[in-house]
Amino acid sequence: MLIDEIQRRRTFAIISHPDAGKTTLTEKLLLFGGAIHVAGAVKSNKIKKTATSDFMEIEKQRGISVATSVMGFEYDGYKVNILDTPGHQDFAEDTFRTLTAVDSVIIVVDAAKGVETQTRKLMEVCRMRNTPVMVFVNKMDRPCGDPFDLLDELEKELHIGVRPLSWPIGNGETFKGVYNLFENSLYLYEASKQTVQEGIAIADVADPQLDSIIGERAAGQLREELDLVSGVYEDFDKEAYLRGEVAPVFFGSALNNFGVRELLHCFLKIAPQPGTSQTEARIVRPEEEKFSGFVFKIHANMDPNHRNRIAFVKVCSGKFERNKAYRHVQLGKDLKFSSPTAFMADKKSIIDEAYPGDIVGIPDSGNFKIGDSLSEGEKLVFKGIPSFSPELFRYIENDDPMKAKQLAKGIDQLMDEGVAQLFVHQFNGRKIIGTVGALQFEVIQYRLLHEYQAACRYEGISLYKACWIESDNEEQLSEFKKRKVQYMAKDKWGRDVFLAESNYMLQMAQEGFKDVRFHFTSEF
């Protein structure tokens, strides 16, 4: 039954600042799910630190990691789908888009480092969508500060309420374990990468058994701290978590397999099943009989001889079936897919069907763009897959007059894949590439040459931000465009974009034209 398949699905992403332990946690979850059998089997999307200046190496690693873009496994009757996100900040846009396809998120934080820049940015995206968030405080085997201070920092920096559902006993050298408040049991820590500790049920922390197990001093401190926890924090409210207002927090050590299973158990119990999706015309419910879905990511093959790609489709409603004709809404064409793939940890396989919450990989030779939708005929246009205002800009110029056509086509296709954004300057007609990371410029240049045989060169342009503008006050809008004619561009949909050279210029524009709205994402 469709409804049963929906109820047992959990589709989520693990996000963190690089090095907090996302890859390690992902791997341990897969070990529990039996999807892999030895640690180290996941070739994750993680881009090695040593390779940060070597974009070819990065692209190679990205290529290898197609199979781990989505990791599905069965556990305890649940179908778990973990969507991987690239750790490298230059690919943050990929991560933002992946977050549009998940129903919840687990944030990994390094206990000693607390909230870091990338965590903060990713959390902003979760907040925009009210995505339910759980926090795993990792590396408790290393010395770190007071857990109350860390929780305060989480609240303050991530702008979300927190509720510890486990509590650490010491840290670093003195780390003894955690008390699980969700199950009322004690887990004793033992540094081990292979084994998993069993919990000891202690329904009441006043139980003297606690003193004999962890010692009087630690037991006394734990009791005091738990008293404080229940005094400071409200009881855990699952509904508030589902609304994205409160994040349950777990403590552990992913590397040592500690606290991971408890996190998974609680996650499966409380995390949301696939929810509704907003389209321009209406809300789509997962249990609707007819299939619908949208493309949230496109992965290009790095082999220049095969310019094929994989479009990742998130199933939003109904049942997806192999070889059935579906409407590609934006193309207005019916298409059949003979080899849709599903991803299971370290391998991918052709599937016959998929359900809401699942991700289907569709081999594509250029039919799909990010945001495109598939349906059984209805013209559904899914919302919530915005482009973000880029931070780096360069003019892109043709470096080989004989190849102008190839260049234009190459740029078009790379933009469809979401590698970067293209703006056309209205004043001088030149093309501007906007990205969130410097690496993309190299990636684009390399791929244009190797996949499209088109040479390009860049020229610097000094811009602070590009923002989409609109207004109900037609007169003021046209006055704005007239006055700022040197700074106006169009995006790929032909919408007006204001190119601000500095923060000051942006502020002046905002002050001078009160009726003009400035947007920093393409969807408003």
Interface residues with ligand G4P (CB under 6 A) are 16, 18-24, 46, 87, 138-139, 141-142, 253-256
Sheet holding 496-500, edge to edge: 456-460, 392-398, 431-435, 421-425, 488-490, 496-500, 465-471, 516-519
Select 16 or 413, whichever has its Cβ closest to ligand G4P. Answer: 16
Cβ proximity to ligand G4P, 106 vs 433, nearer residue: 106
Burial class (CB in 10 A: 0-12, 13-18, 19+), 511: exposed
Q: How far is the CB of 66 from ligand G4P (least distance, A)?
A: 18
- The CA-CA-CA angle for residues 230, 231, 237, to 5°, reads 50
Pull the structure tokens for residue 348.
């991918």
**Residue 466, φ and ψ in degrees, nearest 5:** -110, 130
Q: Which is nearer to ligand G4P, 24 or 387 (CB)?
A: 24
In the bound state with ligand G4P, the residue whose beta carbon lies nearer, of 70 and 255, is 255
Which pair of tokens denotes residue 141?
């085997």
Show the 3-state SS of 130-147. Answer: CCCEEEEEECCCCCCCCH
Nearer to ligand G4P, 101 or 108 (CB): 108
- In whole angstroms, how close is the CB of 245 to ligand G4P at the nearest point? 26
Pick the closer one to ligand G4P by CB: 20 or 125.
20
Q: Which residue, 133 or 342, has its beta carbon nearer to ligand G4P?
A: 133
Positive or negative, the CA dihedral 125, 290, 372, 367 is: positive
Least distance to ligand G4P, CB of residue 101, Å? 20
- How many angstroms separate the CA atoms of 475 and 514, rounded? 12
Q: How far is the CB of 259 from ligand G4P (least distance, A)?
A: 9
Closest distance between ligand G4P and the C-beta of residue 61, in Å? Answer: 13
CB of 28 vs ligand G4P, minimal distance in Å: 9
State the nearest-atom distance from the C-beta of 94 to ligand G4P, in Å.
15
Cα-based distances in Å from 22 to 18, 83, 293, 388: 8, 12, 27, 24
- When the beta carbons of 31 and 254 are compared against ligand G4P, the nearer one is 254
Q: Report the 10 Å Cβ neighbour count for 211.
A: 15
Give me the residue label for tokens 């919450």. Answer: 357
Nearest C-alpha neighbor of 351 from the set 292, 360, 286, 376: 360
The residue among 66 and 109 lying less far from ligand G4P, judged by its C-beta, is 109
In the complex, the smallest distance separating the C-beta of residue 147 from ligand G4P, rounded to whole angstroms, is: 15
Beta carbon nearer to ligand G4P, 20 or 295: 20
Task: Tell me the closest approach of the beta carbon of residue 41 to ligand G4P, in angstroms.
Answer: 13
Q: Closest distance between ligand G4P and the C-beta of residue 122, in Å? A: 12
Tokens of 9: 């699905």
CB of 181 to ligand G4P, least distance (A): 20
Contact 279, 372 (CB under 8 A): no
Q: Which is nearer to ligand G4P, 251 or 294 (CB)?
A: 251
Place of tokens 């049963």: 4
Instruction: Report the alpha-carbon distance of residue 393 to residue 334 in Å, rounded.
Output: 37
Length of the chain in residues, anyone? 524
CB atoms under 10 Å from CB of 353, counted, come to 16
d(CA 365, CA 508): 45
The answer to whether 47 touches 55, Cβ cutoff 8 Å, is: no
With beta carbons less than 8 A apart as the criterion, state whether 178 and 169 touch.
yes
